[in-house]
Structure 1
Amino acid sequence: MISFFRKIRQSLLSQNKVTRYIAYALGEIFLVTIGILIALQVNTWNENRINQKKEAAILKDLHQEFQLNKVSIHAFIQHHRTVLEAIKEVLNSMGEPDSELSEAHIDSLLYLTLDYENYVPSQTVIAELISSGKTNLISSDTLRTLIFQWVNEIEDKKEGFQSLDAIAETLMLPYLSKNGSMKNIDSFGMLKGNGRSKFSSRNLALLQEVEFENVLDNQAWGVTNYFSKLEQLEEIIEAILYHTQPPTS
């Protein structure tokens, strides 16, 4: 094809038809430009089609991962709601006469006040997305924003858990170990087969001490703060699931 155009140019030049040559040259440039534009358009179309397939795969993987996270965080929220209720019940029992309280019940509640856990969601897909820079394949600005909000909230959750754990380790557990019976508390957990303490130390007596009320109030703050982080994560999970749901056929 190129040699064909070259022969035409040479023929026009040899015949001294400069005007026709210029018109022809411009037409040739136009045709070449159109060809390049068409090629670029086809290439862009192919690239977009490939990226759309990649995006669809990403959305599918994200949806599956956050379906799992939805189930797990729901269980964690339910559990820590129980922990909060136990703390509130003990706080409400502070200063009440011993005759109004059950020692075994108080021991079981104290066990729950310490039964907090660290929520570790599945993040394989998001971690790979961010590390590989593939977030730019996601066409939804809202979804990209949610992904980065998730990363930030995970850090906040981590700090919330660390604060709670520090309160329990430096205040709650030392106070109970010094002034109460850990064995009686543990009898409602993994060590329940060991039975109750034979010593006279009674956790029921702690409910008459304002110092313990202050310690327990700090524990309540730690759990409440951590609980709010879990609720924020749950909201983001729901939003990500909404924006990654497969199209209805």
Structure 2
Amino acid sequence: MISIFRKIRQKLLRESKVTRYLAYAIGEIVLVVIGILIALQVNTWNENRNNQKKETGILKDLHQEFQLNKASIDASIQQHQTILEAIKGILNLMGQDNPELSENQIDSLINMSLEYDNYSPSQSVIAELISSGKTSLISSDTLRTLIFEWVQEIEDKNEGYQSLDVVSENLLLPYLTKNGSMKNIDSNGMLKGIGRSRLSSSNLALVQEAEFENHMDNQAWGITNYLLKLEKLREIIEAILYHTQAETP
């Protein structure tokens, strides 16, 4: 097409038809510009289609990952709710003259109060998204916000766990080691089957001690605080699943 315009232009110049030459020259320029615009439009269309395919894959991967996270966080919340109930059970026994409780029962409750654990969700998809900068491929502003909120809440959850663990390791466990029987406590947990201590120490006597009550109260506070962090994470999981569900098979 351009070669045809070039021949016409040369003919018009030889014939000194300047006006018609200019018209053809302008037409040639217009055609070139239109061609460039069409090429840019096609390129943009192809790029957008590729980005949509990538986004679809990202949303599918996110949905699958957070389905797993929902199952694991539900289990973790249930675990820590059970721990909190055990601690509340101990606190309700504090100061009773004749608590209706056996040595084995108090040992089991104390052991349960120490069975907390740090929730560790799957984060491979989100980690890859953030490190690669692919969050920009997600068209939903709400979903992008949820992803960064998740990262922040994970940090808060870890801080809550560290606070709980420091208090337990530095205050509660040293107290139990000094004033109670760790063997009797452990015989109701991971060391089940080792038998009870033959020494005279009794964990049942601890329910008459104000210091033990304070340690249990601290433990209850730490577990409650940690549960709040887990509940917040669960809310974000539900929201991410909602905003990615359209891409599930």
TM-score category by the smaller chain? over 0.9
Q: Does 1:246 align with 2:246?
A: yes
Aligned to 2:80: 80
Matches of 2:90 and 2:103, distance apart in 1: 11
One-letter amino acid of the structure 2 residue matched with residue 24 of structure 1? Y
Deviation of 1:46 after TM superposition, in Å, equals 0.5
Matches of 2:97 and 2:201, distance apart in 1: 17
Q: Does 1:171 align with 2:193?
A: no
Aligned to 2:222: 222
Matches of 1:206 and 1:152, distance apart in 2: 40
One-letter amino acid of the structure 2 residue matched with residue 106 of structure 1? I
Matches of 1:100 and 1:36, distance apart in 2: 88
Matches of 2:99 and 2:213, distance apart in 1: 19
CA shift digits 1:84-140 (9 cap, x unpaired): 111111111110123533222111110010000111111111111111110001011
Over the matched positions of the two proteins, sequence identity in percent amounts to: 75
Aligned to 2:43: 43
Structure 2: segments with no counterpart, 5+ residues = none
Q: Does 1:69 align with 2:69?
A: yes
Q: Structure 1 residues 99, 49: CA separation in 2 closer, same or farther (over 3 Å shift)?
A: closer
Matches of 1:88 and 1:15, distance apart in 2: 105
CA shift digits 1:132-157 (9 cap, x unpaired): 11000101111000000010011111
Matches of 2:168 and 2:123, distance apart in 1: 28
Aligned residues: 249
Deviation of 1:17 after TM superposition, in Å, equals 1.4
Aligned to 1:29: 29
One-letter amino acid of the structure 2 residue matched with residue 151 of structure 1? V
Q: Structure 1 residues 66, 46: CA separation in 2 closer, same or farther (over 3 Å shift)?
A: same
Structure 1: segments with no counterpart, 5+ residues = none
Aligned to 1:112: 112
Aligned to 2:96: 96
TM-score by length of 2: 0.97
RMSD: 1.3
Q: CA contact under 8 A between 1:73 and 1:234: conserved in structure 2?
A: yes
Aligned to 1:190: 190
Matches of 1:50 and 1:162, distance apart in 2: 43
Q: CA contact under 8 A between 1:98 and 1:204: conserved in structure 2?
A: no
